[in-house]
Every structure is written in C-alpha cells, then in structure tokens.
Amino acid sequence: DAGVIQSPRHEVTEMGQEVTLRCKPISGHDYLFWYRQTMMRGLELLIYFNNNVPIDDSGMPEDRFSAKMPNASFSTLKIQPSEPRDSAVYFCASSWWGVAQYFGPGTRLLVL
Amino acid sequence: GIQVEQSPPDLILQEGANSTLRCNFSDSVNNLQWFHQNPWGQLINLFYIPSGTKQNGRLSATTVATERYSLLYISSSQTTDSGVYFCAVATGGGNKLTFGTGTQLKVEL
C-alpha cells in the first residue's frame, strides 16, 4: 500500500491567498483526520471524518478553515484567507475503525 | 480535557543503550498510541496499546490503564531511533487523540 498521500509537500503563499491541502487516505480506511503541528501548540486535531462524514470539527481554529471529504479516497483542507499564523505542518492521517492512525508525510505551509 | 505528560522531555543515549519513556494521563482512556517522529518530520505509528503489553523487534510497550500510564522500551538503541516519541490518548468514543509534548531522543555513536 502507498500509505497516506498528501499534496503539496510544501506551500509558500502570501497573506490573504487561498490555500488548499489535499489528502488521499489508505484504501479501506474509514476514518480520516486532519492535524496541525506547530512549535507553540504541538500536534492538534483539527477535524475528523468517519465514512466521509465530519464527526468532530471542534479543533478547527476559525471560519477561515474548512474541510471536505467528497468520497472515501479524497479530502481537502482549505484556508481562506490565509494568515501568517497559519504557518505550520499539516498532517492527514487515516485509520480503520478509529484505532491505529497512519500519518501522511505532511504539508509544510508558510504564509508570508 | 485530558492531560498527557511525557518524561523525560529530552534523552541522549549512546548507541546500544536501553531506555524507558513514560506517558502519564489524567483520565481513563480507550485508545493509546505511541508514535515516532523522525528527523525528517514523518510520524510513524509504533503501537496501538490501550492496555497490556506488545513487542515489535527492539521496541516494546506496556500500558497499565488502571494506573493511567504507559511505558515505551527501546533496547539496543541505534542512531536511527533518534527523533521525538509521542504518546497520544483518547477517551470516550476513542478517536479524538490528544498528544503529549513528546520525548526528544538523540542516539549518538
């Protein structure tokens, strides 16, 4: 299996621009998670889906963030408009039955 | 929310040494996982271990759920073991992981 795939791996953008991060979970996994990692706050869960349905989005920082999962093999995390404080590494993870989570390589986002 | 404390925060070992990393949590959990974040940033799942003991090669883990702690043992450490080790736990439904602050491990030749 190819593992969890994320794109892009690196993104540099200017404040105010829209950013879209993409994730392909491991085939057959029914849970998908979006995390953010920063030096100040560590690893934080933003939102997770079960069978393509958002279950808990309480970690989404504000309305500028949105996530979708249109099908079992694709999810997006969108930031609009982006701000410098959104700079972080964003991870996508997937699991089967919500147990062991497998992480993608992450997207390093820098907002100037 | 649940609190997760990991110790020690930093650890330096000589290659071949053994070590024990600890994770304490403040509430009952039904999901506990150990991860290794390598120097390139990749997060690797080591164990899913809400209770009991598991072993995988030179690594093993034990969770004593009734006493709210988990231990990760690394034997015969190698330089490739360097990185940050995270413990993550979830309560209730079991999917919303809360991560500890990690143990930064450096293995030297």
Predicted confidence at residue A97, as pLDDT, reads 86
Looking only at the bridges linking them, the beta strands covering A42-50 and A53-56 are: antiparallel
Per the structure block, which two tokens stand in for A91?
């991870």
- A25 interfaces chain B, CB cutoff of 8 Å: no
Quick one: pLDDT band at residue A1, thresholds 50, 70, 90?
A: low
Predicted confidence at residue A98, as pLDDT, reads 76
- 3-class DSSP state for residue B79? helix
Chain center to CA of B83: 12
- 3-class DSSP state for residue A48? strand
Per the structure block, which two tokens stand in for A72?
């079992």
Taking all residues of chain B, what is their mean pLDDT, rounded to a whole number? Answer: 95
Show Cβ contacts of residue A62 under 8 Å, excluding neighbours closer than 6 positions. none
Show Cβ contacts of residue A58 under 8 Å, excluding neighbours closer than 6 positions. none
- B42 interfaces chain A, CB cutoff of 8 Å: yes
Q: Residues B55-95: pLDDT tens digits?
A: 999 999 999 999 999 999 999 999 999 999 999 999 876 68
CA distance A48 to A35: 9
Q: Which residues of B touch A101 (CB under 8 A)?
A: 33, 45, 97
> Over 90: is that where the pLDDT of A35 sits?
yes
Share of chain A above pLDDT 70, in %: 99
- A31 interfaces chain B, CB cutoff of 8 Å: yes
The two most distant CA atoms of chain A are separated, in Å, by 39
b or e along B76-108 (b: 16 or more beta carbons within 10 Å of the residue's beta carbon)?
ebeeebbbbbbbbbbbeebbbbbbbebbbbebe
Question: Closest chain A residue to B49 measured between Cα atoms?
Answer: A100
Q: Find the mean pLDDT for residues B31-45.
A: 96
Q: Which residue among B44, B93, B101 sits closest to A42, beta carbon to beta carbon?
A: B101
Would you report the helix, strand and coil content of chain B in percent, each value rounded to 5?
5, 55, 40
Which of B96, B98, B101, B103 would best serve as a mutation to test chain A binding (most A beta carbons within 10 A)?
B96
User: Are A103 and B96 in contact (CB < 8 Å)?
Assistant: no
Q: Residues A42-88: pLDDT tens digits?
A: 999 999 999 999 999 999 988 999 999 999 999 999 999 999 999 99
Q: Which residue among B48, B86, B96 sits closest to A43, beta carbon to beta carbon?
A: B86
Q: Residues B1-11: pLDDT tens digits?
A: 899 999 999 99
Q: Residues A17-32: pLDDT tens digits?
A: 999 999 999 999 999 9
Predicted confidence at residue B95, as pLDDT, reads 83
